[in-house]
Amino acid sequence: MMGYRAANPMTPRDFIAQVVHLYQEARRPLYPHPRISRGVSRAIASQAEDLLAFYLIDQLAPDTTILVNQTITPATGQPRQRIKPDLAIVKEGAIKAIVDLKMDLGWMRKEFLGYWREWEQRIPQLRSREFRLHRKDGASNARESLTFSSQARLFFVLVSDTNMKQAQLREIEAKRRKKSEYSNLLILSSRMHPNDPSTFGMSVEEVLDRIRINDKEFERWVDAVRGASLGQ
């Protein structure tokens, strides 16, 4: 559902506007009726994955593809260590980067640093290994072999840094200031969550005016993914 869709390539504002739109649509019944009302909103995580891939794809080289939420398994004979990244950036038969998208840290805000450290240990174990997958596109299911690049990185992309205490945010900021060759965290917006309860009844544009969109973070992320896609 792309009801608030801008021309491709999207700008950071276009991206956050679409996130706001998805949240607003998720508050309404999928099949509207005057005698039906919805309480808890639908999850928008899957749509947000597609949206992030859509934002990124035209900013990468034409021979780059993006796998969205597809299971990737080590080749036969190796320890089975399946991964299912939200996005996998693929070029010339190699996984150049994987992306873990979070709308916010929510329930995970206390566990996130430990989760991040676990992935810091996993990435070097995955590098240079052969993987298999059944590439699915909704209509077909093709078997494919890929190599996890020797310089592949993990990018945590956090749509909003709200929904956590400032002390927790400071700890996370301190971790990401320590440069790592294996991973990075990008924070796309701050100040107000795109689904904040105070935004009920507002237009998309009114909500956008209350959110701080971190344009430089978008830029940093795209540059970093491009850099990773040039690695071996």
**Is residue 18 pLDDT above 90, yes or no?**
yes
| Alpha-carbon span 45 to 50, nearest angstrom | 9
| Alpha-carbon span 192 to 201, nearest angstrom | 15
pLDDT at 231: 65
Grade residue 8 by pLDDT with cuts at 50, 70 and 90: low
Token readout for 160 is: 């909003």
Closest C-alpha among 145, 174, 186, 204 to residue 27: 204
Hey, is 20 helix, strand or coil? Answer: helix
101 beta partners: 157
Cis peptide before 74 (omega within 30 of 0): no
Sign of CA dihedral 122, 93, 11, 47: negative
When pLDDT is averaged across residues 97-102 and rounded to a whole number, the result is 98
Hey, is 35 helix, strand or coil? Answer: coil
Token readout for 71 is: 């299971």
Which domains can be identified in the chain, with CATH numbers? Answer: 44-192+214-229 (3.40.1350)
Contacts 24+ apart (CB under 8 A), 121-127: 122/81, 123/152, 123/153, 123/154, 123/182, 123/183, 124/182, 125/81, 126/81, 126/83, 126/152, 127/151, 127/152
**Is residue 3 pLDDT above 60, yes or no?**
no
Contact 223, 201 (CB under 8 A): no
pLDDT at 84: 95
Locate all alpha helices (DSSP H) within 28-154, ordered by sequence.
45-57, 112-126
Grade residue 196 by pLDDT with cuts at 50, 70 and 90: very high
pLDDT at 165: 87
Q: What percent of the chain has pLDDT over 90?
A: 79
When pLDDT is averaged across residues 2-16 and rounded to a whole number, the result is 75
Hey, is 130 helix, strand or coil? Answer: strand
Give the pLDDT confidence of 128-187 residue by residue, as tens digits: 999 999 888 877 788 899 999 999 999 999 999 998 888 999 999 999 999 899 999 999
